[in-house]
Amino acid sequence: MNAKEKARERTTALKRLREEHAETVARTQALLKEQQAFRKKLRAAMKGGPKTIPQIAAASGLPSDKVLWHVMAMKKYDMVREVGRDADYYQYQLAEEVAE
Amino acid sequence: MAEERLRVDALVVGGGIAGMQASLDLADQGYHVALVEREPSIGGKMIALSKVFPTLDCCSCITTPKMSAVAHHENIHLFTYTEVKTIEPNGGSYLVHCVEKPRYVDTGLCTGCRQCEYACPIDLPDPFQMGLSAHRAIRVPFSTAVPQKAVLDIDHCLLCGKCEKACPVDAIDFTQGPQDLVIEARAIVLATGYETTPRDAKAEYGAGKLSNVIDGLMMERLLAPTGPYLHVLRPSDGKEPDSIAYVQCAGSRDETLGVSYCSRVCCMYAIKQAMLLSGALPMADITIYYMDIRTFGKGYEQFYQNARAMGIEFVKAKVGRITEDEYRNPIVRVEIMEEASRVEERKHDLVVLSVGMLPAYDPRPLYGVPIAEDGFVEAACPNIAPPMTAQPGVFAAGTATGPMDIVDSIVMAGAAAAEAAAYLERHDGEAKTYAGRSISMGEKEAIHA
Ligand SMILES: Cc1cc2nc3c(=O)[nH]c(=O)nc-3n(C[C@H](O)[C@H](O)[C@H](O)COP(=O)(O)OP(=O)(O)OC[C@H]3O[C@@H](n4cnc5c(N)ncnc54)[C@H](O)[C@@H]3O)c2cc1C
């Protein structure tokens, strides 16, 4: 199969998948939007130095269990670093701030 | 239409420790084995555990070499992300129709570099981390997954194509569909394992809604070096817990859940975790609320005594209810069953439910293999040959047959492999086409269906 035929086959397959999975794609898009809005608030609250999960939750008004989940997700994908400790809590900071 | 058919001596269903051990034991004797695992990686529950009782060996260090040995054994054909759809008897053998689910990744090209995973924009609860942290719609299932290949979850995919752009070897393949495969096997070993009692099974214990009431497998992840937080923290707010309690028999010996049996491993895994917690959090108070402690295996009673000597508090008590205060600290209402029985409410930072074992798979519809009253595979001759089922040529091993620990799962897998090998030898003459292992076993051939 040459490159052109391969590209055509891929386009057809994607079109078919978009049709077949229209509902799950729409649901995932809604989830992504929700996550992006959450992350925007989270990032804003995390600015300006190391913070614990309760501190981020208080600054953002977001629930602390969800803050922890997102911070851990961001940490896994190198967007957040664990930088220290404050009593019973670890402190986290945005990766770009740590690098500065 | 041409259909791919693989002829083997034995099919092993399930790639947990029992299935891997049965496959290796058969393969080492020269038998050709097809191992079918429904998940994208082999390893089963064991690969997610932290350390194992009673030796406290690192679980990943024991399991990973076995996974690798299975993947590289010349007599084992490994099919991950594959499920058995139908089975037909075929004159001394079984024709097993399987479907390999699409990964939307060309595994021949994928190097497991995870650049697709980093590019994917959506975060989803990661089942390997028991939902405590995230993974992406396309991901390598976990760091020691075998095969170390990405898999795309089409039901949570945005079809945005970012993974395609990020892949340095052009391995993303949206043209993939389910692949049919026929395996012709003379014997079958069922090693389909267990699930745990759902965390939300009991309304009295918060019905899964209290974030600081977790289960044993979640604690395994918190204790593992590859865990979701890389520390033991409580899920409500990331606090390092000062006080941790275990509730034993949370899903076993409980008629209200229809589980009357003892799950056999919960006492030992709670004691193990308590010991590991004492190491990870030396200042923490650890309490185990129990009805009886059952330490049946070699070295297990000593393990329990060591835990007591380390200062872990064992309280003979029945836990009636778990609620939480305004800081989400779990409040455990216990009936203490010591000299004078009394009811107390005790506050902890984190509570672990020692959930029990349930069968993961019902083999009746496909394999015609009966199950016992507890839902696990019924042994046809429990006292003489425990791995034998009522179906000729079909054997069972590990927790597919009932609650058991890793040692017993491995022993039973060895026994199932030995029974299957004996069966194959006994039936060598009957199935002429399969008689000479050197001629026909493990050959892939196209048949025209
Ligand atoms: C919290 C906890 C801690 C534990 N700690 C210890 C410990 O320290 N030491 C110890 O000895 N034991 C421990 N155990 C017990 C241990 O996990 C089990 O004994 C062991 O993992 C059982 O292995 P298995 O292969 O039988 O089952 P599993 O690990 O469940 O493997 C079964 C495999 O079969 C696959 N499968 C299921 N159905 C199908 C199907 N239809 N088709 C294809 N594939 C299928 C599954 O995906 C899975 O990969 C612990 C258990 C728990 C819950």
**E strand or H helix that includes residue B276:** helix B266-280
CB contact under 8 A, B238 and A53: yes
Answer whether B4-101+178-193+360-442 and B197-356 agree in fold.
Answer: yes
Which pLDDT belongs to residue B156? 98
Q: How far is the CA of B17 from the centre of ligand 1 (A)?
A: 7
Provide the domain limits for residue A66.
3-97
The CB of B40 under 6 Å from ligand 1? The reply is no
Which pLDDT belongs to residue B340? 83
State the complex-level ipTM. Answer: 0.96
- Structure-token match 């048949």, residue found: B447
Q: Which of A53, A72, A82 sits opposite B237 (nearest CB)?
A: A53
Q: Which atom of ligand 1 is nearest to the CA of B53?
A: 8
**In chain B, which residues have their Cβ closer than 8 Å to the Cβ of A31?**
122
The CATH number covering residue A8 comes to 1.10.10.10
Cα three-residue angle B354-B355-B358, rounded to 5 degrees: 150
Domain total in chain A: 1
Q: Which of A28, A52, A69 sits opposite B134 (nearest CB)?
A: A69
- Sign of the dihedral defined by the CA atoms of residues B283, B339, B324, B267, in that order: positive
List the end-to-end C-alpha distance of chain B, in Å, as a whole number.
6
For the beta carbon of residue A61, count every other beta carbon within 10 angstroms.
Answer: 8
Interface size, chain A vs chain B, as Cβ–Cβ contacts under 8 Å: 89
Searching chain B, which residue's CA lies closest to the CA of residue A31?
B122
The CB of B44 under 6 Å from ligand 1? The reply is yes
| Confidence bin at A100 (pLDDT 50/70/90) | low
Name the CATH superfamily, with its identifier, for domain B197-356.
FAD/NAD(P)-binding domain (3.50.50.60)
Percent pLDDT > 90 in chain A is 93
CB contact under 8 A, B237 and A13: no
Nearest C-alpha of chain B: how many angstroms from A34? 10
Which pLDDT belongs to residue B74? 97
Q: Is the pLDDT reported for residue A99 higher than 80?
A: no
Q: Which of B134, B157, B240 sits opposite A73 (nearest CB)?
A: B134
The CB of B215 under 6 Å from ligand 1? The reply is no
Which pLDDT belongs to residue B339? 80
Phi, psi for B422 (deg, rounded to 5):
-65, -40
Tell me which residue of B392, B398, B338, B402 sits closest to B369, measured CA to CA: B392
CB contact under 8 A, A90 and B233: yes
CATH T-level topology, domain B4-101+178-193+360-442: FAD/NAD(P)-binding domain (3.50.50)
* pTM of the predicted structure, to 2 decimals: 0.95
Task: Tell me, yes or no, if A89 comes closer than 8 A to chain B by beta carbon.
Answer: yes
Which pLDDT belongs to residue B251? 86
Which pLDDT belongs to residue B431? 44
Q: Domain map of chain B by residue range?
A: 4-101+178-193+360-442, 115-166, 197-356
Chain A segment 31-60 residues within 8 A of B by beta carbon are 31-32, 35, 52-54, 57
Which pLDDT belongs to residue B354? 97
Q: Which of B156, B229, B239 sits opposite A24 (nearest CB)?
A: B156
Q: How far is the CA of B48 from the centre of ligand 1 (A)?
A: 9
**In chain A, which residues have their Cβ closer than 8 Å to the Cβ of B231?**
90
The mean pLDDT values, 10 residues at a time, for chain B of 449 residues are: 81 98 98 98 98 96 97 98 97 96 98 98 98 98 98 98 97 97 97 96 92 97 97 98 97 89 96 98 97 93 96 96 97 92 96 97 97 96 95 97 97 98 84 38 48
Q: Which amino acid is at B137?
A: A
Q: How far is the CA of B106 from the centre of ligand 1 (A)?
A: 29
pLDDT tens for A23-78 read 999 999 999 999 999 999 999 999 999 999 999 999 999 999 999 999 999 999 99
Helical axes B59-72 vs B17-28, angle rounded to 10°: 40
Which pLDDT belongs to residue B49? 98
Beta bridge partners of B353: B215, B247
**In sequence order, what are the residues at sequence separation of 6 or more whose Cβ sits closer than 8 angstroms to the Cβ of residue A41?**
A60, A61, A62
- Sign of the dihedral defined by the CA atoms of residues B200, B202, B207, B211, in that order: negative
**In sequence order, what are the residues at sequence separation of 6 or more whose Cβ sits closer than 8 angstroms to the Cβ of residue B228?**
A72, B126, B129, B130, B132, B133, B221, B222
